């Protein structure tokens, strides 16, 4: 059995990857809250999203997927360590592997992540209208830190019970630092269509009522002139003035003419910047029986932080449009803490072979999010078309608390050791993604639609990890491959699996050792361009503080002053003369 050195000086890994986002632009806003029907491509997807879903099922998917974590050695082996043992990373993976560690040690693994994205904007109506936007971000972090304390007997001490090992370890299980940009020309739809679809059916009197926070998103879009009422009535206090009918429930966008045709192509662009990470603090203990049977248990605390800033901009490429351009800025901050456990077993029937298995319980997260949306619109004056007016409106900050239960997972592994020359290892991990659940105690049942959506779109998966280590005296050469299967079953032709190719080098001395590892992940995503952008429209029962000063005075923007010789377009659009 290999002797584990007493101290580790440093363990470093680098992660460099590529993500491809396919941005689809052929959308209709009138059929679904989150994914406007994207022609034949996303029609099956739309059917899988249960009406009334608030989008929290996306959080369940995002925070349930995680990469292999730990030291540079562990990561350069693609996480195929269930049956290998002998590394502090087993604290998170298979705690039974800690039983192989004979000496106390401390580890520190700084990491550097390079995230590269290629975003391809394409239109179903014009397959040649495609362009690709690259983007890159770098992030330095502490990927792993921890200590192992061996309580095992010396080799000369008798007895089959050889003692145990305890460990405390912190590892970064997810990295959310990324950025993508896209830009393209849409000949068919404007995002202002989406605002109209969200506002239709709501009375203007309700939009002006600040005691109805469920309309905060629609209210902000309305006061920014991104939605406009069809019905106006004379102002009782001024016969030369028309005001919006408080009972009006039908709206239109200034980006379309009276025949509902888009006045010009919409130049659409968006920058999405995400940040944050998911960490796990694990406390583990392992036992060693006769240097053949090892078993272990861990209890882990989990913490996550996720921030997302999305800036969407659209410009109508036609001077005939009253709506010149607009921008929507969404800020989302999300944090959570959770608790879970893992148990594992590792058996060495012969020196050549090791067999391992582990089970990880669901992690129960207590989540809190805050969000707000700001609109900026540049609108030509209705009476003086040469005058460009700028309107800015934002939603009141909202907060929402909920619980997330991640899926349980089980792993089995084999490792073949070739004496001092190295080993080969393989892991197979089963993840029960459909067991993920969302819950809110204050609004019972409010997340039922999201939970049903999880049942519709998630499936169990098998993740495969393969690795090998070659040894030449004190030097180590490592390589691995991990395939994380796509847990979704959207019928859109996109495989969302994540492939990771890994490699690394190491050197081991009696008193210290150092490792360096490299991970290259590759994944592909499809993003429906114009689905619900902000939690301000798609969230249940958000908490809003007292209205900000001046909010009650916003209704004056909806007064139209009739002057002499109004333009024909003004008359035709508003039908007020």
* In-domain check, residue 526: yes
Higher pLDDT, residue 34 or 80: 80
The pTM of the full predicted model, rounded to 2 decimals, is: 0.80
Please, are residues 393 and 554 in contact by the beta-carbon 8 Å criterion?
yes
In contact, 301 and 337? CB cutoff 8 Å: yes
Instruction: Inform me whether the pLDDT recorded for 381 exceeds 90.
Output: no
Lowest mean pLDDT among 144-148, 397-401, 512-516, 526-530: 526-530
| Residue 339 within any structural domain of the chain | yes
At 417 the pLDDT is 96
- pLDDT at res. 181: 87
Give the lowest-confidence range in 197-206, 456-465, 537-546.
537-546
pLDDT tens-digit readout, 393-421:
999 888 899 999 999 999 999 999 998 89
- Is residue 2 one of the residues assigned to a domain? no
Give residue 214's pLDDT: 85
Tokens of 128: 């040649």
Mean per-residue pLDDT, 252-257: 92
Question: What pLDDT is attached to residue 304?
Answer: 96
Please check the confidence at residue 523 and state whether its pLDDT lies above 50. Answer: yes
145 has pLDDT over 80: yes
The CA–CA distances, whole Å, from 554 to 38, 208, 251, 432 equal 35, 8, 18, 50
Q: Is residue 3 part of a domain?
A: no
Hey, which residues does 354 pair with through a beta bridge?
A: 415
Q: Residues, the chain, total?
A: 577
Residue 192 belongs to what H/E stretch? helix 191-199
- For residue 9, pLDDT over 80 is answered with no
Q: Tell which phi-psi region holds residue 128, choosing left (phi > 0), alpha (psi between -120 and 50) or beta.
A: alpha
Angle (CA) 253 258 264, round 5°: 65
The overall average pLDDT reported for the chain is 80
CA distances 122 to 8, 27, 135, 325, Å, are 50, 12, 17, 21
Predicted pLDDT of residue 543: 34
* Averaged pLDDT, 271-293: 94
What pLDDT, on a 0 to 100 scale, did the predictor assign at position 321? Answer: 85
> Structural domain tally of the chain?
1
* 556 — pLDDT class (breaks 50, 70, 90): very low
Q: How much of the chain, in percent, has pLDDT values that exceed 70?
A: 80
Alpha helices of 224-358 — where are they, by DSSP H?
A: none
In a domain, 135, yes or no: yes
Residue 81 belongs to some domain of the structure: yes
In this prediction, residue 495 carries a pLDDT of 77
Confidence category of residue 460, pLDDT binned at 50, 70, 90: very high
Q: Does residue 560 register a pLDDT over 60? A: no
**Tokens linked to 464:** 């495969």
In a domain, 4, yes or no: no
Q: Examine the pLDDT at 374 and tell me if it is beyond 80.
A: yes
| 72 part of a folded domain | yes
pLDDT tens for 65-94 read 888 878 889 999 999 999 999 999 999 989
Q: Between these two residues, 329 and 112, which has the higher pLDDT value?
A: 329
Three-state DSSP string of 440-476: CCCCCCCCHHHHHHHHHHECCEEEEEEEEEEEECCEE
The percent of residues above 90 in pLDDT, for the chain, comes to 49
In tens, the pLDDT along 121-136 reads 766 555 555 566 677 7
Mean pLDDT across 51-63: 88
Q: Is the per-residue pLDDT at 552 higher than 50? A: no
CB 347 within 8 A of CB 291: no
pLDDT band with cut points at 50, 70 and 90 for residue 547 = very low
For the chain, the C-alpha Rg in angstroms (whole number) is 29
298, pLDDT greater than 80: yes
What is the distance between the alpha carbons of residues 365 and 404, in angstroms, rounded to a whole number? Answer: 5
**Which range marks the domain in which residue 484 is found?**
10-574
- Residue 423's pLDDT band, with cuts at 50, 70 and 90, is very high
Instruction: Name the DSSP class of 213.
Output: G
Report helix angle 448-457 to 56-64, nearest 10: 50
Q: Is the pLDDT of residue 521 over 90?
A: no
Q: How confident is the model at residue 159 (pLDDT cuts 50, 70, 90)?
A: confident
Question: Span 58-68, mean pLDDT?
Answer: 89
């Amino acid at each position: 059995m290999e002797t584990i050195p007493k101290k580790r000086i440093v363990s470093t890994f680098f992660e460099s990857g590529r993500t491809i986002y396919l941005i689809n632009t052929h959308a209709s806003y009138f059929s679904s809250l989150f994914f406007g029907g994207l022609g034949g491509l996303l029609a099956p997807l739309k059917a899988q999203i249960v009406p009334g879903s608030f989008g929290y099922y996306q959080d369940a998917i995002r925070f349930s997927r995680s990469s292999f974590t730990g030291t540079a050695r562990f990561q350069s082996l693609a996480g195929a360590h269930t049956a290998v043992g002998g590394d502090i990373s087993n604290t998170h993976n298979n705690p039974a592997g800690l039983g192989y560690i004979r000496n106390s040690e401390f580890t520190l693994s700084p990491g550097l992540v390079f995230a590269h994205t290629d975003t391809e904007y394409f239109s179903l109506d014009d397959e040649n209208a495609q362009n690709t936007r690259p983007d890159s971000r770098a992030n330095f972090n502490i990927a792993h830190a921890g200590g192992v304390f061996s309580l095992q007997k010396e080799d000369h001490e008798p007895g089959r019970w050889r003692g145990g090992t305890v460990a405390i370890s912190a590892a970064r299980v997810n990295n959310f630092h990324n950025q993508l940009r896209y830009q393209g020309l849409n000949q068919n739809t404007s995002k202002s269509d989406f605002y109209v679809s969200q506002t239709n059916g709501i009375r203007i009197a309700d939009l002006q009522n600040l005691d109805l926070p469920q309309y905060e998103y629609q209210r902000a879009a309305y006061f920014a002139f991104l939605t406009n009422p069809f019905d106006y009535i004379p102002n009782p206090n001024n016969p030369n003035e028309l005001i919006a009918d408080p009972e009006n429930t039908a709206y239109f966008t200034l980006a379309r003419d009276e025949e509902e045709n888009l006045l010009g192509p919409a130049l659409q662009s968006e920058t999405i910047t995400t940040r944050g990470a998911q960490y796990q603090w694990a406390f583990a203990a392992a036992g060693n029986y006769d240097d053949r049977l090892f078993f272990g248990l861990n209890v882990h605390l989990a913490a996550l932080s996720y921030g997302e800033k999305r800036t969407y901009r659209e410009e109508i490429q036609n001077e005939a449009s009253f709506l010149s351009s607009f921008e929507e800025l969404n800020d989302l901050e999300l944090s959570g803490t959770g608790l879970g456990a893992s148990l594992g077993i590792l058996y060495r029937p012969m020196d050549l072979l090791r067999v391992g298995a582990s089970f990880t319980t669901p992690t129960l997260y207590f989540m809190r999010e805050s969000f707000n949306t700001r609109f900026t619109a540049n609108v030509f004056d209705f009476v003086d078309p040469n005058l460009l007016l700028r309107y800015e409106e934002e939603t009141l900050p909202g907060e929402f608390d909920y619980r997330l239960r991640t899926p349980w997972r089980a792993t089995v592994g084999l490792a073949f050791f070739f004496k001092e020359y190295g080993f080969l290892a393989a892991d197979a991990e089963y993840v029960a993604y459909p067991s993920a659940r969302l819950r809110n105690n204050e609004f019972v049942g409010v997340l039922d639609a999201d939970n049903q959506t999880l049942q519709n779109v998630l499936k169990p998966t098998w993740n495969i990890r393969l690795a090998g280590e070659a040894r030449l005296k004190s030097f180590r050469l490592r390589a691995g491959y991990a395939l994380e299967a796509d847990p979704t079953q959207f019928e859109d032709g996109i495989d969302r699996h994540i492939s990771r190719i890994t490699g690394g080098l190491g050197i081991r001395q009696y008193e210290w050792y150092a490792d360096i590892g490299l991970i290259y992940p590759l994944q592909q995503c499809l993003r429906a361009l114009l689905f619900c952008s902000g939690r301000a429209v798609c969230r249940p029962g958000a908490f809003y503080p007292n209205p900000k000063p001046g909010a009650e005075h916003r209704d004056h923007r909806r007064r139209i002053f009739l002057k002499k010789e109004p333009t024909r377009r003004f008359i035709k659009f508003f039908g007020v003369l």
